[in-house]
Amino acid sequence: MSITDDAPMGVTETETVDVTVAQDTSLAPVPIVLSHTNAKVNILHFQGSSRNMFMGLMEEFASRATDIQLPMDFTLVTFATGQHNIRRSPLIRQLVAAGVPFLNPVAEFDLAKWGRWSATFRPEIVAETLRQIKTRYTLILDGLDVAIQTFDNILTHFNTYDKAVLFGATKSRHPNVFVDSVPNRDERGDFQWLNAGTCMGETLRLREFYDKVVSLDLSLNEHDSEQFMIRSAFATSQDYVDFDWKSKVFQTFGKSEVAQAGNNTLRVT
């Protein structure tokens, strides 16, 4: 997979993705989802067991045509290995329906060669992909448990933190080991731990960060965990990296509930 000068910014020239998008023709609008800080959050991340718990909500976004449009000077990268997982990906179905360009650098992941897919492979693949991207900003999103609500105001939300790289935030410390000290963590509320499944940042600083992740001594990663790798690098990168504890850009759903907050509006708690 290569990015050429003739392709639009950040877009790979590849074959058409084989995804069938089943559109819901119901007149009922897709609900508005507010984060726990009452922001109309950009990206919904149904990580872990919350994927099954909130499958209906995730599918509402994935199966209906939307007017989402990737901002200028952005590249979106996601991960779905092979045609089976590409078809399973709610994010890819949504992006295809909306005509949003994206990169999937593991679309032809060779299971015969590697034997299995592991998320610990991803930092190296991200680092290689980032070296090809020419846009100022890059979004890096899980493929099987993420949906887009809107790209409106995403840069404004991102700039709230005054950092070059922003990950999602979660209520859970995973793996359950302490590797990343954060000043005044408890003052950040419930969403006080970094989640590696969603990320946005300035492409050049993302390259710097992921190069650091790749340089880690993997013999220390006894958990075989990408989260452990990212959090370990984050521990010494907090001058330019943060996680979205206000849930402006990314809202995770693990250990969370959703309550009615008005007409066709839901709020995560």
Tell whether omega for the bond before 71 is within 30 degrees of 0, i.e. cis: no
pLDDT tens-place string over residues 22-48: 544 455 788 999 999 999 999 999 999
pLDDT tens-place string over residues 110-153: 777 767 888 889 999 999 999 999 999 999 999 999 999 999 99
8 A C-beta contact, residue 230 and residue 174? no
Give the C-alpha separation, 93 to 19, whole Å.
Answer: 6
Residue 191 banded pLDDT, cuts 50, 70, 90: very high
The confidence score (pLDDT) of residue 7 equals 38
What CATH number matches the domain at 32-268, 3.10.400, 1.10.10, 3.90.550, 1.20.120? 3.90.550
Contacts of 256 (CB under 8 A, 6+ apart): 36, 50, 171, 268, 269
pLDDT tens-place string over residues 201-229: 999 999 999 999 999 887 767 778 999 99
Length of the chain: 269
Span 163-175, average pLDDT: 96
Q: Name the pTM for this structure.
A: 0.89
